[in-house]
């Protein structure tokens, strides 16, 4: 008999907590999801190798169940000093408004992907997921030889086909509803905003590996819909972002809990890479910028002090409020209750669909 994705991941329920980098995915959340029968995931893209190692050990103190670690595949970025300086001058206006020190030089951007990968191998994490591209063949093969399940991220069918050819064990289909950074690595992110309802069945038809649905899935309805469209599991971000165990900033959670489905926008403002988040003053201010926004990760580095100062001041208008379009369905619950309620609602829903089928 064929191994299902949940069997391969050694989890009870087909629910993966999305690896949200930058704060929300603290060990408490990850362990709570895994202990509830789902797969908790660390968004480790911004962490140093040492931080990743420490966090993995903290997770293992809290659970002996499987969990995943997600990394950002680095891209070649060439941005001229002129573009960076012009942006930095523009950002200095915001720094002045926020009362933080001006930044006239950009800090060195150190490439740490290979070192991050090394930590995952050394710590022998159960699941390695990635976004923004495809790691080298060597890395994917080494992970698989260590028994690590490898999961890539696609926003189009073509990306899914390339991921399968690279040997991944499963593919996250990231629909346009999803919060946070777009995983697009073939073509432009603006052309790859395919709704989950359309992306899933088209991707499933073109790859043989299991597909994990992401984007707009908030409860048992989204889980059943995803399974119907051919997914083997779902990845839920926003739902877990507001959970009680989440490490997200209180002002960020509060913004999500008071926003609507049309409150988000896809923006390059914070990081230089397309990402969906709640529209706020910083995004509006960057819309007025006449120059070129430096590509990721440059812009992300440039705006870091602003985001950190805003967080310290509890000012969500200058924080990156990554959120998906299912935002009205976000509820402050424990991660365990989210998993449990999602599964219960899904089971009841399937029963009802089956009962109504012949009417």
Chain contacts with a copy of itself (rule: CB under 8 A): 156-158, 175-177, 187, 191-199, 201-202, 205, 215-219, 221-222, 224-230, 260-262, 265, 324-326, 328-329, 347, 349-351, 353-354, 357
- The Cα–Cα gap between 208 and 165 comes to 10
297: preceding bond cis by omega (within 30 degrees): yes
Shortest Å distance, C-beta 50 to a copy of itself: 38
Shortest Å distance, C-beta 216 to a copy of itself: 3
Which CB sits closer to a copy of itself, 23 or 220?
220
- The Cα–Cα gap between 8 and 30 comes to 19
- SS3 assignment, position 53: helix
Which CB sits closer to a copy of itself, 293 or 327?
327
Shortest Å distance, C-beta 182 to a copy of itself: 12
Which residues sit opposite 67 in a β-bridge?
40
Tokens (6 digits) for 8: 């391969």
- The Cα–Cα gap between 17 and 68 comes to 9
Which of 185, 54, 69 minimizes the C-alpha distance to 117? 69
Which CB sits closer to a copy of itself, 116 or 184?
184
Shortest Å distance, C-beta 230 to a copy of itself: 6
Which CB sits closer to a copy of itself, 93 or 351?
351
Shortest Å distance, C-beta 342 to a copy of itself: 12
DSSP string, 195-241: -HHHHHHHHHTT-SS-EEEESS--SHHHHHHHHHTT-SEEEESHHHH
Shortest Å distance, C-beta 226 to a copy of itself: 7
Tokens (6 digits) for 112: 């740490």
Which CB sits closer to a copy of itself, 79 or 189?
189
Which CB sits closer to a copy of itself, 306 or 343?
343
| Spatial CB neighbours of 176, under 8 Å, sequence gap ≥ 6 | 193, 194, 195, 196, 199, 215, 276, 325
């Amino acid at each position: 008999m064929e191994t299902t994705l949940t069997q391969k991941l050694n989890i009870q329920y087909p629910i993966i907590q999305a690896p949200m980098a930058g704060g929300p995915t603290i060990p408490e959340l990850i362990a709570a999801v895994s202990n509830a029968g789902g797969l908790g995931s660390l968004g480790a893209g911004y962490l140093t190798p040492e931080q990743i190692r420490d966090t993995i050990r903290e997770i293992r103190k809290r659970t002996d169940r499987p969990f995943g670690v997600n990394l950002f595949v680095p891209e070649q970025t060439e941005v001229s000093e002129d573009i960076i300086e012009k942006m930095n001058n523009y950002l200095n206006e915001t720094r002045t408004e926020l009362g933080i020190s001006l930044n006239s030089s950009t800090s060195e951007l150190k490439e740490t992907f290979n070192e991050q990968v090394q930590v995952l191998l050394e710590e022998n994490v159960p699941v390695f997921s990635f976004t923004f591209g495809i790691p080298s063949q060597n890395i994917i093969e080494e992970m698989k030889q260590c028994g690590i399940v490898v999961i890539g991220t696609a926003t189009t069918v073509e990306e899914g086909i390339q991921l399968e050819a690279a040997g991944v064990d499963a593919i996250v289909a990231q629909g346009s509803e999803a919060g946070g950074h777009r995983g697009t690595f073939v073509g432009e992110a603006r052309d790859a905003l395919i709704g989950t309802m359309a992306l899933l069945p088209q991707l499933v038809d073109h790859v043989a590996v299991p597909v994990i649905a992401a984007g707009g899935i908030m409860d048992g309805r989204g889980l059943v819909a995803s399974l119907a469209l051919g997914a083997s599991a779902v990845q839920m971000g926003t739902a877990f972002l507001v959970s009680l165990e989440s490490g997200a900033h209180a002002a960020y959670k509060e913004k999500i809990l008071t926003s609507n489905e049309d409150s988000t926008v896809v923006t390059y403002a914070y990081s230089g890479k397309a990402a969906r988040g709640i529209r706020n003053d910083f995004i509006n201010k960057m819309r007025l910028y006449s120059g070129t926004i430096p590509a990721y990760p440059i812009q992300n580095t440039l705006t870091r002090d602003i985001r950190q100062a805003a967080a310290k001041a509890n000012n969500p208008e200058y924080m990156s409020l990554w959120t998906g379009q299912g935002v009205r369905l976000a509820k402050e619950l424990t991660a365990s209750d989210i998993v449990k309620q999602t599964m219960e609602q899904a089971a009841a829903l399937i029963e009802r669909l089956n009962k109504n089928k012949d009417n």
